[in-house]
Amino acid sequence: MKKSRLLLSFLCAVPLCLLNVWSGGFQTHTAVSPITISSWSNGGRNVTILLWFWPFGRSMSLKGDVCWDLYSIPRCRLVDQRSLFPEADVVVFHNRELVQGRQKLPFNLSRPQGQRWAWMSLEAPVPEGNLSQFAHFFNMTITYRRDADVTVPYGEVLPKVDEGVEDFPQNKSALVCWVISNYRSQHKRSQVYRNLSETISVKVYGRWTKKHLTSRALIPTISRCYFYLAFENSDSKDYITEKLWRNAYQGGAVPVVLGPGVDDYKAVAPPKSFIHVDEFASVKELGEYLQQLAEDKKRYREYFRWKHEWRVKLYTDWRERLCRICSQYDSLPSHRVYPDLEAWVNAVST
């Protein structure tokens, strides 16, 4: 049993490393860096990850060997029983509940030698979330940022294995679509929308216009649009959410993006798979460009060429994100403390 698992874990190392050598910028992703088996061995023992409380209070089953059974990540023990604190190699704390004061760090327990405390968040930093009270406590960060110790993006592209022919999206009935629930007129994305709709027609869905879309209707609706406004609600470094990875890419509409800077998108998304608002001198020019592109089938089609080589993988399950800690465990710095988490979290997009 043990032997066959070892063999399997060896076989899994190559596809897994595709998943994990992800931080280097889009161009480098195509080349798989050499990986030694020892870096997958976790020193030959299980790594125990203790989740101190579930994000947003929604727990999931951890029965069986979750990381192996669901994600083929070997020797990774994911637990949520606090009594296992003394055995845990990594204890994970989700940011939201900490900043809201609904959960506390276990200062009453003595931290075993070598145990790491991990700060985890998938949300963009919010001004009211003051993290200065957490200075000097955390040894690692788990978030969507490329410079986190464990990067857990909302999605990523992986090389396509089979050369399946990608359907070119047909049957478009709207030029530009936007789905917005929380409209604030002072947000930059709202200004861009208003200016854009002076040049071209933008179809708006969501709570704001009382044209609510059910989750089942979302992707089919987007698929009928040439362009989808994947506007993030924050311009925080690397904050690129399912608006790009799922809504636009799966919907087969070309994403027009706004959020972090162009370089952050270029680092993770395939070339010619998106259009960034900042690439245009004015929103009017952007509008004219979109109009022309929709009228020119050949040029429009170029924005789907990447789908021949790449497929999108979405991350939606906290367990998968937590299991990824094990894949990267051996490359974590042996000693690290975040002396000023507040400053790290609020670092600006470059």
Ligand X SMILES: *[C@@H]1O[C@H](CO)[C@@H](O)[C@H](O)[C@H]1NC(C)=O
Residues at the interface with ligand X (CB under 6 A): 82, 104, 106, 108-109, 114, 116, 130, 132-133, 136-137, 139, 171, 173, 188, 191-192, 195, 224, 283, 335-337
Distances in Å between the Cα of 13 and the Cα atoms of 40, 197, 319 are 7, 49, 19
Q: Is the CB of 172 or the CB of 319 nearer to ligand X?
A: 172
Would you say 234 and 226 are in contact if contact means Cβ atoms under 8 Å apart?
no
Q: Is the CB of 240 or the CB of 341 nearer to ligand X?
A: 341
Whether 123 sits among the annotated catalytic residues: the reply is yes
Instruction: State the amino acid at position 270 in one-letter form.
Output: P
Q: Catalytic residue among 123, 232, 242, 320, which?
A: 123
Distance of CA 283 to the CA centre of its chain: 27
Least separation in angstroms between CB 54 and ligand X: 14
Least separation in angstroms between CB 26 and ligand X: 27
**Judging by beta carbons within 10 Å of its beta carbon (0-12, 13-18, 19+), is residue 81 exposed, middle or buried?**
exposed
Measured between alpha carbons, how far is 317 from 297 in angstroms, rounded to an integer?
Answer: 37
Q: Is the CB of 160 or the CB of 284 nearer to ligand X?
A: 284
Contacts of range 101-109, beta carbons closer than 8 Å, 24 or more positions apart: 103/52, 103/53, 105/134, 105/137, 106/52, 106/82, 109/85
Least separation in angstroms between CB 25 and ligand X: 27
Q: Is the CB of 224 or the CB of 305 nearer to ligand X?
A: 224
Instruction: State the amino acid at position 226 in one-letter form.
Output: Y
What are phi and psi for residue 123, nearest 5 degrees?
-95, 155
HSE-CB at 74 with a 13 A cutoff on CA atoms is 23
Least separation in angstroms between CB 51 and ligand X: 14
Measured between alpha carbons, how far is 23 from 330 in angstroms, rounded to an integer?
Answer: 16
Least separation in angstroms between CB 279 and ligand X: 13
Q: Is the CB of 72 or the CB of 195 nearer to ligand X?
A: 195
Q: Which residues are known to be catalytic?
A: 123
